[in-house]
Structure 1
């Protein structure tokens, strides 16, 4: 009984814990690795790799020293050489030189650790085909690494590399190279020797240019140069006949690259640049293009040649300076995504943009019949060029400031009638002897008379064509609490509007202005007015 009392305070699992601390890699894993040739030690909190792992194919297993008889499946001397070792998501700060004791390795994954460099003996793994060193803290790499001429996949993303040697070009079998999220300023000309490279990721670096040698990679299909400092791309890029995906997002490009030989290019991503001009030469050779992404640029117009991209499936033109687009886009047979938000479009109202691509394309097709040239362009705003000019007294508009459109038996006043007076001040309007059921709700300007009615509390002018307002005169309407200007043509919201503090409901949705952004408008009147006040020049 005393024997039990003495043992009552002992932890019955203490012996197992002690064994685990001595050998963080269970013998069962090592035994399985001898049979399969694969060992997964990911996510075990290792600060170093146990010696038993490096000597896996050299030392006999522990059970062999205990004179245990072996079945046919447990004959350790018939073991398989280790070909795959996974050490990711641990706490390794160094890698032992004993890695050379596993010369049959084909895959070595050490990503997501704390490594700052590699041992020179890494170059002795002559059979290595895949090496993943991403998400570490490496600032340089041993020259011996470039002796691994059988490498097909090398991942070095998310490190602290500032430069790479020209010896990189010795990896002539490489097919996948990821150098993203480093501190590279230049890439070596040795890239030209990577003739088998299919995928190259250079994104999230500090590159200001690309070497001309990049065009020598004749098998390259995907090139990602996003998030750099590129102001242009070398013309020789156009010679990359196998290129299928090109990412140039978030750079400083002013022009789209001309790619006459890239007839296999399927995706071109150039969003978040400073591109202003899009010419026919940039598009006419891209017959295989299915994705064209140009969001957040300064593109002012689209060439008619864009309608020749019959394979186009996605076209992103969000946040540019487009006032019109070719109607022929409506006939592209495969186009399933067309985004135009954030453009000062004159003929497409915001509510149509929110209805989705199918409705937008349907609208564009309807305009093709109206406008044979296929462009959604603003008509010249002069009565001399209007198709209905024979019905409008131009002389009366100019000299008498009178718009005469009476005795027409019309149920609605045509748009071109209002367009005829867009450049002149009209005092008198005569719409008598028609069949109108309501007053034509098309104001081109904010009625001057409203500014003079100081007792106004509500102004509702949605769904017109008002292009501007005078915030200084509006501020005098100190009883104005509701101002509805939704779905008009306001290109700029004056910051001084924020001083109209009597407003409790300010509605500006559906106008083509770019600032304030829709997210700010959606926050409500108080937040909108506060934002506008913050933008008033001091």
Structure 2
């Protein structure tokens, strides 16, 4: 009877033969075979929901080729297999990891970023040789304590998870040189953090920290420290004891004054988007090695004269402050090549002069000094190359800068790029030339370039710039651009883009897809409108210059873009808001726009 009942069930399922049987996730055997020889297995972006069992057992089970005829060719010696040391599983749909991960004890690199992991197995603690563990972009709320027994771990990346706290056992990872905790929900850091004496790079940006532990003073080898995007109202003075500190990021916090920083190696200080009202002169005198100082989006009214001693300063960002007068000594800073001033109520200097760039402003300031001090004018070491092209070797080697501006050149000489062959170039200035295309060899600087000026040229296309992923600041003023390439969104770190005096007839579509933007200058184009709903998605946008365009109306919902601190609309043909309101500044314009929104539409949606 049971046999008959089984037969009846089989015949009753008439579609059984057409159904695809559920199968376990598999990995092509060729990949496994190659992994046994190379010690590396790349399973990135394969839509895996779990790690196949044969991956965990790669070095345990006997290979298939061992079951057939033995081959003695060099390529088929299965008995000479290598233990797996590198396993890449990023960009899949993994929600968990099996305890069988312990079967791969030789792993040195384990990449699990961009998955859906909610927990981690305790067996991770058995991977004693693990040096690099990538866990970013997952859904982790906690970490197994066994993880902190990995003494050889050098790099741990945990950004974009759901971590609210870290255990004191973190101090046991004494081999760490890089720790990234960005984009989590941390409200405090364990005091044991100071025990990580080998740490060189610590990133804890975009969390919920209101205090920092004093134990940071013990991190004497840290070179980069990033606490941007937190809730810090003050920073402990102990940072001055971090003798190796070169880059300090404190942007987007609630600082009212700068911490006393006597870090002798400090080269870059970023304190934009805070509530600073002044910079103490005695603080500036301690920044002898400083080359980049960002003070944008604060409430600073004056600059201390001690900043004049920063002979190595190359970039000074003062945008969106309350500075009324520029001190003449700025013109004497020998290496200053980027000075950002937009959004300040400057008096005594013509507006048209400000649009001509840093060199013109500095030349004007030098002209205000009756007698320049001896040695104030920089005379860099240079060598003359064929065609009378001068390469500033000091800029290239010491300042990590490619400078070839105001030459009326149609191309940039190869000798300039050759001089930078072994240098991690961070800035390039090719402004005021006759370039009709982006110099192709700029691609050679893609790993390090952060600042680029191609202003005052003849560019009609800038596609090549899409291959420079580390750009923070891009100056394309006074060119012939009609649009920007969609691939520009690859510049995921870009903070500011200057596009004044081009031929843009619309707000470039790609800019709506770049949430890192803080400053967009589009003055003197033919822009006919903007989409306020999409602008609101740019939550960091603080400066928007739409002056001298073709705006026939200003959408009231633009007033809901509360991140804007500087909105320029003068010189457009719209009738409202009236010129008298525009002249009162950003706050008055934003208040007027908000007052024009119907009561039932105060919440802006994408359909508005």
Please state which band the TM-score falls in when normalised by the shorter chain: 0.5 to 0.7
Question: Which of residues 163, 180, 195 in structure 2 aligns to 1:193?
Answer: 195
CA contact (8 A) 2:71 2:77 kept: no
Deviations 1:339-391 (A, max 9, x none): 1111111111221111100000000000011899xxxxxxxxxxxxxxxxxxx
- Label 1:228 to 1:60 Cα distance change in 2 as closer, same or farther (>3 A): same
Counterpart in the other structure of 2:591:
535
Q: What is the aligned counterpart of 2:208 among 206, 209, 230?
A: 206
Preserved contact between residue 520 and residue 527 of structure 1 (Cα < 8 Å): no
Q: Is the 8 A contact 2:311 2:333 kept in 1?
A: yes
Preserved contact between residue 521 and residue 528 of structure 1 (Cα < 8 Å): no
Structure-to-structure mapping, 1:470-481, within 5 angstroms = none
Counterparts of 2:73 and 2:589, CA distance in 1: 84
State TM-score, norm by structure 2.
0.60
Q: Would the aligned equivalents of 1:307 and 1:326 in 2 still touch at CA under 8 Å?
A: no
Give the structure 1 partner of residue 362 of structure 2: 361
* Alpha-carbon spacing, 1:523–1:148, altered in 2? closer, same or farther (3 Å): farther
Q: Output one character per residue of 1:424-469: Cα deviation in whole Å (capped at 9) or x when no partner.
A: xxxxxxxxxxxxxxxxxxxxxxxxxxxxxxxxxxxxxxxxxxxxxx
Q: What is the CA–CA distance in structure 2 between the aligned matches of 1:534 and 1:151, rounded to whole Å?
A: 51
1:413 alignment counterpart: none
Looking at both structures, which has the greater relative contact order when contacts are Cα pairs under 8 Å and sequence separation is at least 6?
Answer: 1
Distance in 2, Cα, partners of 1:129 & 1:175? 10
Scaled by the length of structure 1, the TM-score of the pair is 0.68
Q: Given the alignment of the two structures, is residue 297 of structure 1 paired with residue 298 of structure 2, yes or no?
A: yes
Mapping of residues 243-254 of structure 1, within 5 Å: 243-254=245-256
User: Once the two structures are superposed, what CA deviation does each residue of 1:52-95 show, in whole Å capped at 9, x if it has no partner?
Assistant: 10000010112222345342331212100000000000000000
Distance in 1 (CA, whole Å) between partners of 2:364 and 2:327 is 12
Offset, 1:124: 0.1
Aligned pairs (5 A) from 1:79-98: 79-98=81-100
* Equivalent residue number for residue 109 of structure 1: 111
Q: Distance in 2 between matches of 1:168 and 1:194?
A: 8
Name the stretch that deviates more: 84-93 or 361-370: 361-370
Counterpart CA distance in 2 for 1:286 and 1:18 is 68
- Pick closer, same or farther for the CA change 1:251–1:65 going to 2, 3 Å: same
Cα distance in structure 1, aligned partners of 2:144 and 2:566? 50
The residue aligned with 1:343 is 344
CA distance in 1, matches of 2:106, 2:589: 69
Alignment-derived partner of residue 315 in structure 2: 314
Range that drifts further, 28-37 or 342-351: 342-351
Which blocks of at least 5 consecutive residues in structure 2 are unaligned? Answer: 1-18, 374-551, 554-563, 583-587, 596-608
CA distance in 1, matches of 2:44, 2:153: 22
Q: 1:294, 1:318 within 8 Å by CA — same for their partners in 2? A: yes
- CA offset digits 1:297-333 (Å, max 9, x no partner): 0001111111100000000000101111221111111
Deviation, structure 1 residue 99: 0.3
Query: Given the superposition, is the C-alpha separation of residues 145 and 368 from structure 1 closer, same or farther in structure 2, using an over 3 Å criterion?
Result: same
Q: Distance in 1 between matches of 2:25 and 2:252?
A: 49
- 1:22-421 to 2 correspondence within 5 Å? 24-260=26-262, 262-369=263-370
**What is the match of residue 440 of structure 1?**
none
Query: Residue 23 of structure 1: CA displacement?
Result: 5.7
Q: Deviations over 1:475-520 (max 9, x none)?
A: xxxxxxxxxxxxxxxxxxxxxxxxxxxxx99xxxxxxxxx994443
CA distance in 2, matches of 1:18, 1:153: 43
CA contact (8 A) 2:65 2:78 kept: no
User: How many pairs are equivalent?
Assistant: 382
The unaligned stretches of length 5 or more in structure 1 are 1-16, 373-503, 506-514
Alpha-carbon distance between aligned partners in 1 of 2:46 and 2:162, rounded to the nearest angstrom: 25
- TM superposition shift of 1:192: 0.8
2:574 paired residue among 525, 528, 537 = 525
